[in-house]
Amino acid sequence: MKKGDFKKLFDYVDENENSSVEFQTVWRKAHRKKWVRKQIQSAGHNLAILLTILILAPIVGHYVINQDSPSESAQFMEEGSSHSDYKVSGKIYNFPNQIVVKGESNLPDGTIINLEHLQKDGEKILAKKEVTTNPDGSFQITTDRLEKNKEYIIKILVYSDIQNEEVKNILGNRGEKIKSKKNEDSVFQYTQGGGNYTGLMMLGTVNKIDDTNQYVISEFLLTKQEFEEVD
């Protein structure tokens, strides 16, 4: 191939390459606009869907939650109207210097629980303590043991007349909603200020402690009938 022919060939290639580059540039610019317009339209569509979800989600969630579980107030109304079987249980832990009562109940949160520490004959009250139930109905009361070589009686009491208004709304102003067929052994009646009230009572024994003991003695809380049978 002659030198002149090489020059013509290179000129032809250069011309076609430039045309190809220019074509690609024009094609990209034209299609870039279409692509941008397409992305904007897609983003607008997606944004509309997202806004719809954000608006509907709280409504749907509220409906599902309320369908799946009743409100707490509704549960309290149902429990109050059905006179729940309110009860107290627990154990007395007999430490050398202290008496600790750890109890469980299905009483409302904030119910006042009283402890009375009595002599073995049950006549003289040596100490009184007061606590309120936790949200799950549990409670813990601590009192001094006084003397290691003596036995004592512990009473756990729920007096309906001293409860706050929220608890009274559930248990009744005079404790009339406390008693049921299942808990009647732990229910007791008392008089206060000329009025008759219903409460709950459980008892337990605090045993003597031998100085050589290296363990904690514990006793279950009992109903009055159970306590008298054991005693």
Q: What is the pLDDT of residues 1-16, one digit of tens each?
A: 544 554 554 454 445 4
3-state helix, strand, coil in the chain (%, to 5): 40, 30, 30
Could you give phi then psi for residue 96, rounded to 5 degrees? Answer: -55, -35
Domain topology for 84-230: Immunoglobulin-like (2.60.40)
Contacts with 108 (C-beta within 8 Å, 6 or more apart), sequence order: 133, 166, 167, 170, 171
- Give CA–CA dist 97/202, Å, rounded: 22
- What value does the mean pLDDT take over residues 91-99? 92
Summarize pLDDT for 179-222 with one digit per residue, the tens. Answer: 998 999 999 999 999 999 999 999 999 988 876 555 678 899 99
The SS3 of residue 187 is strand
Which residue's structure tokens are 């904690």?
216
Q: What is the dihedral of CA 8, 14, 20, 23, to 10 degrees?
A: -100
- Give CA–CA dist 206/221, Å, rounded: 11
Between 40 and 169, the more confident residue is 169
The DSSP line for 103-152 is: EEE-PPTT-EEEEEEEETTS-SEEEEEEEE--TTS-EEEEEE---TTS-E
Q: What is the pTM of this model?
A: 0.63
